[in-house]
Structure 1
């Protein structure tokens, strides 16, 4: 396998723009640190009230460029059709085994949008199966065990187990979100949605400021871990 295809962080979202809302700063920061980052959109967001599939793809590619991603992958699963079928899980397993991420990001499992919670469940299934040696993928790619899975927030606000300082890259987070103009910017022919109301982006920024305040910085992004976090020592190096 071409080692250049592997990544350090792979973030899954149900729709194009999900990852940008919850973890764009984390991806931008790690890309600046020399880590290879990627996003996988499970659906094309074809049922969104505004925009169409081709528009969303162009916007997603623009956001990927802003975040300096090494790849943006599209599963093409049906919008509102994330069912954790064997076919869907196996497609995600193949991608995880091919890219061999050390860290996987997924939406927090509590969210008002059923697709976000379904994506969270699918990622947990795929990460688990990707590590099973006797569950061979059709293409013969070797099993891969992800070091850590973290869950980012889209609509929900909850207690974070980890907060990452994204102050230095916050301008790029906002630019990546606004790359999805069809979703976040009101305009002719577009209907009002929770995403393009005037207070939505302010809410996202306020949430990121709140997390930043908790760690003594301007902006942060919160993550949740299902398992305990390990430390070698209590004194940071």
Structure 2
């Protein structure tokens, strides 16, 4: 895998100020992935006047639906899409791919957030694999920022989220059905503090991503899963 992603990686991770374009689509396989993986960067984008929509792929429980409504109000997304597929059913699911293609086509995003190829959950990997098949159905033209939830990634861009960390923390804390299983606040805090310190002593929190054009991301996926 490292041989495939090495051309995208720099010794010094660039510190970016803004996302590519204005319209952002966040793809969250589960309700809380968006909070852990990219909430800080997205919140900053909204505060700067950017447009954000979230596509939630699966449905867990009515309680989690209540939690997500509170969480997205903190993020400031303008519209949310709920596909409601059962958990662990996304892999190879043509109906899921068709629904996701319809949302992408409707939103026409400049930037898409999604879990990295090797994030440790079958539903997370299924989202990236679905992008390959969607490319055969509709034209795709956006920048991919892939994020980590359950497994660290090798990043090639970084966003300082020090000024919005408390909002990200508050958003994660909305998902009480999930934080009772794992301390996602601690997971995000340690990871974001680690990359901030690596980048620049004095920076408090940073989110990192693997950034590529959608064409590059698809090409990479085909090589990895050939």
Pick the TM interval, shorter chain: 0.7 to 0.9
Aligned to 1:119: 127
Contact 2:195 2:207 (8 Å CA) reproduced = yes
CA RMSD of aligned residues (A): 2.0
Cα deviation digits, residues 44-73 of structure 1 (max 9, x gap)? 1x2xxxxxx111111111010011111121
SS of match in other structure, 1:57: helix
User: How does the TM-score come out when normalised to structure 2?
Assistant: 0.78
**Counterpart Cα distance in 2 of 1:128 and 1:25:** 32
Correspondence list, 1:22-41, <5 A: 22-41=37-56
Aligned length: 192
User: How does the TM-score come out when normalised to structure 1?
Assistant: 0.75
What is the CA distance between 1:124 and its match in structure 2? 4.2
What is the CA distance between 1:43 and its match in structure 2? 0.2
Aligned to 2:24: 9
Higher RCO (CA 8 Å, separation ≥ 6 residues): 2
SS of match in other structure, 1:95: helix
Shift in alpha-carbon separation, 1:181–1:102, aligned structure 2, 3 A: same
What is the CA distance between 1:79 and its match in structure 2? 1.0
Contact 2:143 2:212 (8 Å CA) reproduced = no
Task: Return structure 1 stretches of 4+ with deviation > 6 angstroms.
Answer: none
Bigger radius of gyration among the two: 1
Structure 1: runs of 5 or more not aligned: 1-6, 47-52, 132-144, 187-192, 230-237
Aligned to 2:159: 164
Counterpart check, 1:220 vs 2:206: yes
Cα deviation digits, residues 62-120 of structure 1 (max 9, x gap)? 01001111112111122110123332211111111111111011101112222211222
Contact 1:105 1:151 (8 Å CA) reproduced = yes
Aligned to 2:18: none
Counterpart check, 1:21 vs 2:7: no
Structure 2: runs of 5 or more not aligned: 1-21, 218-226
1:153 to 148, 152, 175: 148
**Counterpart Cα distance in 2 of 1:209 and 1:59:** 26
Aligned to 1:55: 63
